[in-house]
Amino acid sequence: MGDHHHGPAKGLTRWLFTTNHKDIGTMYLWFSFAMFILGGSFAMIIRAELFQPGLQLVEPAFFNQMTTLHGLIMVFGAIMPSFVGLANWMIPMMIGAPDMALPRMNNWSFWILPPAFLMLASTLFMEGGAPAFGWTFYAPLSTTYAPPSVTFFIFAIHVLGVSSIMGSINIIATVMNMRAPGMTYMKMPLFVWTWLITAFLLVAVMPVLAGAVTMMLMDIHFGTSFFSAAGGGDPVLFQHVFWFFGHPEVYIIILPAFGVVSQIIPTFSRKPLFGYASMVYATAAIAFLSFVVWAHHMYTVGMPVAGELFFMYATMLIAVPTGVKVFNWVTTMWRGALSFETPMMFSLGFLILFTIGGFTGLMLSIAPADFQYHDTYFVVAHFHYVMVAGAVFSMTGAVYYWLPKWCGRMYNESMGQVHFWVSFIGFNITFFPQHFVGLAGMPRRIPDYALQFADFNMMSSIGAFIYGASQILFLYNVIATIVAGEKVSDEKTWDGAEGLEWTLPTPAPYHTFEVPPMIEAEPAH
């Protein structure tokens, strides 16, 4: 041993037993991309069935399994692990730490994920089929009327919940205890800040999700009646518990994306981030408000007027800190020396499309109007603007932004630009028409629809195939970069980049910051 600069172990056991944050980050990123492709292929089946009215390709029961698994896999398998992977790679390098605080737990929190999703996907081949009750799994659909495979679904949720909680504890412990000397909280890069707050949200609400599925399990197998009216329970209780988890969950998904964009936009504007402190406070405000708005998902459930008003105003209040963030990103670019490399393009795409998704969210927050929009394609359009154009675009930008630092090779810029434009156009062809069919009354989660929605649905499906195909281009570009990309060795891949990760050699060595760096007096963000 002795030599501190030893490289990784060889062979498969390197990946099985690794405690290195970069290895674990890499595994998270590849795993989440695999889940992105799997969840995406389910979306392709959905859009293929909806290409024309009538039933052409799949049975309605299978269609419902597809919408359910698409949602579950994208939320829990693709988006969340991808940002955990990014956190693993970047947080130690951004705060000058040698590794994550709890490296062995880090290994475990990754390695329990693949079995959980294997189990979830295997329900497709079970008797009665996979869960078909939507990713929100409302009782009694998910209890009384659920297929037998629901028990495997519940166990999978428990396992991935444990994984998320362990990952979050690790991130908080790292950020709170392992910052380089002189790296005060208000000098941390914004990505670290948004992840710190996200991790607190995860620790608070993943146990609530575990509680919800535990109650389902008890109702199904142990004769309790939490959600069964016949035994004195209430199905509406499920919705309250689920959305008490579910609303913070949407910020768990989007806050790290905010962090990524807050790193990329200053780099390509060649200016420091505008309003750093207000960004931190806005993130904290959004996280706090996320706990008191859950019932805006349930306006039509029969709440008292006072309840509807409270949740309506509290929800609208979230537009204020979110507006602060959008303002700061735009102002960062104002009079900057802008350039438009692929990461910047994805960040700009994020900025425009996320803002559209935010506005439709504001429309949905208005309780009396929501009675019309509820459970229509308008909602589908809204959350895909924030989930795909928000989280996925930002994540894609992050991969292009840090890939040269990770592997010491430059991606193909032209192919990156093509990927961006095909994604951007494909995404909008897919989801923009869904606003219109939603407002016209097309319900979500149906395999067939009325004839007047046919044209917009065909557009939507064509857009989805374009968007889906563009991800193959992304995969090719990343693999081509790793295998045969043009070698780069500058510490700063991007001339405008700031932060500790850009003081490291390129590609980033297996072990970094074994000696903590000196933090200068000026802020590091």
User: Is 345 in a helix, a strand, or coil?
Assistant: helix
Active site residue 511: no
Q: At what angle do helices 305-333 and 276-289 cross, to 10 degrees?
A: 160
**Is residue 169 at the binding interface for another protein, with CB under 8 A as the rule?**
yes
**Is residue 244 at the binding interface for another protein, with CB under 8 A as the rule?**
yes
Active site residue 164: yes
Is the CB of 260 or the CB of 293 nearer to another protein? 293
Dist. CA 78–CA 209, nearest whole Å? 18
Instruction: Give the residue, chosen from 34, 236, 319, 462, that forms a contact with another protein under the rule CB under 8 A.
Output: 236
Region near another protein per CB under 8 A, out of 126-134, 210-218, 270-278, 441-449: 210-218
Instruction: Give the residue, chosen from 57, 119, 126, 303, that forms a contact with another protein under the rule CB under 8 A.
Output: 303
Dist. CA 281–CA 472, nearest whole Å? 38
**Is residue 159 at the binding interface for another protein, with CB under 8 A as the rule?**
no
**Is residue 287 at the binding interface for another protein, with CB under 8 A as the rule?**
no
**Is residue 181 at the binding interface for another protein, with CB under 8 A as the rule?**
no
Catalytic residue among 21, 297, 405, 435: 297
Reading the block at residue 141, the tokens are 């659909």
Catalytic residue among 82, 123, 142, 262: 262
Q: What is the 3-state secondary structure (H, E, C) of 364-402?
A: HHCHHHHHHHCCEHHHHHHHHHHHHHHHHHHHHHHHHHH
Q: Contacts with another protein in 500-519 (CB under 8 A)?
A: none
The minimum distance between CB 176 and another protein, in angstroms, equals: 5
Region near another protein per CB under 8 A, out of 50-58, 183-191, 198-206, 263-271: 198-206
The minimum distance between CB 119 and another protein, in angstroms, equals: 21
For the chain, the maximum distance between any two Cα atoms, rounded to a whole number of angstroms, is: 73
Q: Report the run of H or E that residue 64 belongs to, with start and end.
A: helix 60-72
Reading the block at residue 156, the tokens are 């999978």
Q: Report the run of H or E that residue 410 belongs to, with start and end.
A: strand 409-410
Active site residue 444: yes
Is the CB of 54 or the CB of 231 nearer to another protein? 231
**CA distance readout (Å), 515 to 97, 380, 510:** 8, 49, 14
Is the CB of 122 or the CB of 300 nearer to another protein? 300
131 secondary structure, DSSP code: -
Instruction: Give the residue, chosen from 16, 118, 186, 229, that forms a contact with another protein under the rule CB under 8 A.
Output: 229
**Is residue 264 at the binding interface for another protein, with CB under 8 A as the rule?**
no
Report yes or no: 162 and 156 within 8 Å, Cβ to Cβ.
no
Report yes or no: 246 and 297 within 8 Å, Cβ to Cβ.
yes
**Rg (the chain; Cα; Å):** 23
Active site residue 247: yes
Q: Contacts with another protein in 4-43 (CB under 8 A)?
A: none
Dist. CA 204–CA 291, nearest whole Å? 10
Catalytic residue among 164, 376, 423, 470: 164
Number of residues interacting with another protein: please give it, by CB under 8 A.
Answer: 39
Q: Sign of the C-alpha dihedral, residues 450, 456, 458, 462?
A: negative
**Is residue 102 at the binding interface for another protein, with CB under 8 A as the rule?**
yes
Dist. CA 20–CA 18, nearest whole Å? 6
Active site residue 297: yes
Report yes or no: 383 and 360 within 8 Å, Cβ to Cβ.
no
Binding residues vs another protein (CB under 8 A): 101-102, 105, 165, 168-170, 172-173, 176-178, 203-208, 210-212, 214-215, 223, 225-226, 229-232, 234, 236-237, 240-241, 244, 302-304
Residues annotated catalytic, as ranges: 70, 99, 135, 163-164, 247, 249, 251, 262, 296-297, 322, 325, 444
